[in-house]
Amino acid sequence: MSSVVDCLLSLRAYVESAEDVISASSSPSKSGYLSRKRWKFIEVDKIDSTDVSRGDSSQSGQNSPAIGEGKRRNVSDLKFQGVLRNSVTSESASALLHHVGYKFHEVFQLKQGRYSELSASKISEMMKSNGLDNAPTQSLLSVVNGILDESIERKNDEIPHRVACLLRKVVQEIERRISTQAEHIRNQNNLIKAREEKYQSRIRALETLATGTSEESQMVTNQLQTIKTEKIKLEERKKHEEQDRFRLSKEKENSDLMVTELKQEMERKSKSYEQHSMLLEMKARETQAELEERIKEIEVLLQQSRQRAEEIKAVAESKVQSWNTKEQIYKNFLGSQLQALQGLRVSSNSVRNEVMIVQRTCEDEFKSLGNIRVYCRIRPFLPGQNKKLSTVDYISENGELLVVNPSKQGKDGHRMFKFNKVFGPAASQEEVFLDTRPLIRSVLDGYDVCIFAYGQTGSGKTYTMSGPDALSKEEWGVNYRALDDLFHISRNRRNTISYDIAVQMVEIYNEQVRDLLLSNGMQKKYPLCHSQPNGLAVPDASIHSVKSTADVLGLMQLGLANRAVGATALNERSSRSHSVLSVHVRGLDMETGASLRGTLHLVDLAGSERVDRSEATGDRLREAQHINKSLSALGDVIFALAQKSSHVPYRNSKLTQVLQTSLGGQAKTLMFVQINPEAESFSETVSTLKFAERVSGVELGAARSSKEGKDVRELMEQVASLKDMIARKDEEIGQLQLLKDLKTQPLRIEKQAMNSLRHSSSSPGQLSLGGSRKLVGRNHGGLSDKGASDCDNTSGDSDKLSETGSLQSMSDFGRQKEAFCPPKQAGESDHLGSGSADSEERVSDMSDGALSMGAETDGSVSESSKPMEFTEKM
Ligand SMILES: Nc1ncnc2c1ncn2[C@@H]1O[C@H](COP(=O)(O)OP(=O)(O)OP(=O)(O)O)[C@@H](O)[C@H]1O
């Protein structure tokens, strides 16, 4: 029996190990666990067998049988539970359980009784109808265990045959299942191996891939680092934002608090406002009621007022009527008063105009008093001249000029002069013109202006008046610039005044006047023994209307060409003749219709050199005598004008006759005194400056002029006393003529007169001219224009006439001349002084540059060519 039990136990162990293998194959990870279980199972089996053997021995008295039996049962429970547990966890056991039929279960699961007590029929029932096939393995094992337990319990009792058959059958089924499971496990194992290889290859591929991607992973790491940094930043920002949010939430809380407070405040206020407005409404209602009452009262009052207004209106209308009547009366009165006022205004305006006219006249007269200006200009040294020996020592801004005699040392060698202006050698043409321009412009306002250049030959007269080159605007002299300026101003004034400008150009050579603007080159001569109407100095000379500076330049070229023709024929005649450019301006004021007329004479005088120094003879001497005569006559006229002399001796030269209208009381005169700085010309320079000083001395109003005025008065007194004397002498002559002693007595009387004149003159050189000249003329028996001029001097009427310059006066003058003077001798010229021995003598009497009121004449050229006595020696 024990062998059967052992056999059954080993079978059970086999079955359980098979179960474990099945479970392990289905779940490899549990193999360890299963092997442990198997080991336990085996241990239990060992114990069981030990216990069994002990049980056997206990029978021999070591252990009680009860204890041994209980223990075995527990062990078999344990073994059964372990098998059951394993079979439950295994996949195959689950599958078997799934197909278990309840019928078999009921059959095999004995609730009571033993297997050995099962009937044969029951066992056969259990064995047929595929009960074993469908029974779960657990149930089969339970059957096996049950049978084994029973057999153990019963020990030496034999297992019935039928149970053994059942047991065999069960074991067969278990074997079959185990083989099926083993097959299945092998398949699974192969599959698992194939999968393992596949996974191994995948692991290797992944390892290769992992090695290759290390660089990329570095980059990714870097990026990760960057992202981390950014993340940190973002976290910080988030933190800040959190803080901000927190702060804002705090602020919001505060604001909410404030809003709440404000709302509360507003509610309080609105409540108080409502109360206040209710009060006001109540008051308003009360006031309205009061006002309504008052309105009613006022309406009543208004009604009453209207009634009163009606009454007042009626009264006022009656009053207005009476006021209108009065207003009309006042208006009439006012109108008459306004008319009277208008009349007063008109008369006041006329009085004012008269006052203004008188004022203007006074101003003009005042201006005309100081109208002679003298500008001195010093010529620079010419190339090749010795610049060290200059006679000009000092020039001041206010017109002072200090000249020095290079051959005399000390104080005596110096002489100071004063003029309106002194231009040094460096002065430009423009500067000279700018100081002259105001005077020139006054021609357009109806003034007569005369500008002449005086000085010895080569001192720069032509340079100042015309300039060295007409084509160079820079070097234009006064005449071109003057005309240019006149055109400029006339253009500017063209809307108010219409100007006509015309020019004449004549030359005076040897006391003959020639027209320089005749285009046919004819050298026409003009007599001047008639008046100059319309301001024309030489009415017969051609007059050319000019519209522009270009016209003037063309005419001047013609004039210079004509003059050059004369110069070629007459040897440097240009220096020996006076050239006179006359600009006639007529203006018409387009608004008032008033007209004006002005004349500008631009005179380039001949050189005033001394005849004795030049040692001239023949024609040159004659030229010099004429020049000196005309210059002397110019000085006489200027001086007479300055003295307001009753007689102005215009007729003493052609030059003064030509300039007569421009040298009159209304004219403005400017003299350029040209100085040559050379040491050799010192005496001429001094003579020239003295002449200029005398001329400039006639200015009134200047500091110097009071002194000069005194001189003039003295001279006037002398002239008056001489006139008286002459008158007395004339009476004596008349008486003597009656006594028929005509040839000897007058000479004696004349000499007496001259002697007395010399003695009576306080200043040498300030001599009378009238009487003596007349006597000389008569003495020589020749009738000349000079004689006629002298005749003028004896007649107050003719003086006036000569100054007015009218045609009528000139014809009267002619009649008077015929009446007072003997008729002309045959062959005598109409031209003043031309060819006259008297004139020549008188010319020779004149010193260069000397301003003479007359001259002693003794007929000697050599004597008379000496400087005048008033030319003080230096
Ligand atoms: N301010 C000056 N600057 C430069 N050169 C001058 C100046 N003044 C005169 N001259 C020159 O001196 C020379 C003589 O001048 P200009 O002919 O003008 O003298 P003038 O007094 O007119 O002589 P004349 O009496 O013989 O006609 C000329 O060559 C002239 O160019």
Measured by CA distance, the residue closest to atom 23 of ligand 1 is 458
The atom number, within ligand 1, closest to the CA of 466 reads: 18
CA gap 372, 671 in Å, rounded: 8
549: Cβ contacts below 8 Å, ≥ 6 apart: 480, 483, 484, 487
Which residue of 377, 378, 379 sits with most ligand 1 atoms within 8 Å of its CB, as the best mutation to test the pocket? 379
Tokens matching residue 290:
């009061």
Domain ranges of the chain: 2-192, 221-369, 434-671, 712-864
The atom number, within ligand 1, closest to the CA of 606 reads: 25
Measured by CA distance, the residue closest to atom 15 of ligand 1 is 460
Classify residue 373 by its DSSP letter. Answer: E
Which residue of 381, 452, 462 sits with most ligand 1 atoms within 8 Å of its CB, as the best mutation to test the pocket? 462
Contact 511, 527 (CB under 8 A): no
The CATH class, in words, for 434-671 is: alpha beta
CA gap 439, 374 in Å, rounded: 12
- Sign of the C-alpha dihedral computed for residues 429, 432, 438 and 443 taken in this order: negative
The atom number, within ligand 1, closest to the CA of 574 reads: 27
Q: Is 617 annotated as a binding residue?
A: no
382 lines ligand 1 (CB under 6 A): yes
CB neighbours (10 Å) of residue 824? 16
677 lines ligand 1 (CB under 6 A): no
Q: Is 766 annotated as a binding residue?
A: no
CA gap 757, 766 in Å, rounded: 10
pLDDT at 156: 58
| Amino acid letter for position 70 | G
CA gap 719, 710 in Å, rounded: 14
What distances in angstroms separate CA 236 from CA 55, 230, 233, 239, 241, one per listed residue?
A: 82, 9, 5, 5, 8
For 565-584, give the secondary structure using H, E and C. Answer: HHHHHHCCHHHHCEEEEEEE
428 lines ligand 1 (CB under 6 A): no
Closest Cα partner for 749 from 770, 725, 766, 767?
725
Distance 556 CA to ligand 1 centre (A): 18
432: Cβ contacts below 8 Å, ≥ 6 apart: 375, 377, 423, 464, 478, 672
Distance 428 CA to ligand 1 centre (A): 13
Contact 449, 668 (CB under 8 A): yes
Which residue of 381, 432, 463 sits with most ligand 1 atoms within 8 Å of its CB, as the best mutation to test the pocket? 463
CA gap 22, 18 in Å, rounded: 6
The atom number, within ligand 1, closest to the CA of 607 reads: 25
Measured by CA distance, the residue closest to atom 1 of ligand 1 is 379
48: Cβ contacts below 8 Å, ≥ 6 apart: 9, 72, 75, 76, 79
CB neighbours (10 Å) of residue 756? 13
Q: Which helix (H) or strand (E) holds 822?
A: none
For 586-606, give the secondary structure using H, E and C. Answer: EEEECCCCCEEEEEEEEEECC
60: Cβ contacts below 8 Å, ≥ 6 apart: none
Tokens 């070591």 belong to 62
Closest Cα partner for 848 from 673, 651, 616, 629?
629
Instruction: Pick left, alpha or beta for residue 387 (phi over 0 → left; psi -120 to 50 → alpha; otherwise beta).
Output: alpha
459 lines ligand 1 (CB under 6 A): yes
Q: Is the pTM of this model over 0.80?
A: no
The atom number, within ligand 1, closest to the CA of 457 reads: 25
Q: Which helix (H) or strand (E) holds 527?
A: none
573 lines ligand 1 (CB under 6 A): no
575 lines ligand 1 (CB under 6 A): yes
423 lines ligand 1 (CB under 6 A): no
483: Cβ contacts below 8 Å, ≥ 6 apart: 501, 503, 546, 549, 552, 583
The answer to whether ipTM exceeds 0.95 is yes
458 lines ligand 1 (CB under 6 A): yes
CA gap 69, 53 in Å, rounded: 12
Mean pLDDT per block of 10 residues along the chain (874 residues) reads: 57 61 49 40 39 39 40 42 42 43 54 73 72 75 79 67 80 85 90 92 88 78 89 91 90 90 91 93 94 93 92 91 88 84 79 69 50 88 78 90 83 85 94 92 86 90 89 89 93 91 89 82 51 56 89 86 56 70 89 86 82 62 82 84 81 85 73 91 90 70 32 59 75 75 51 44 31 30 30 31 29 29 31 30 29 28 28 27
Terminal-residue alpha carbon distance, the chain: 200
Contact 704, 370 (CB under 8 A): no
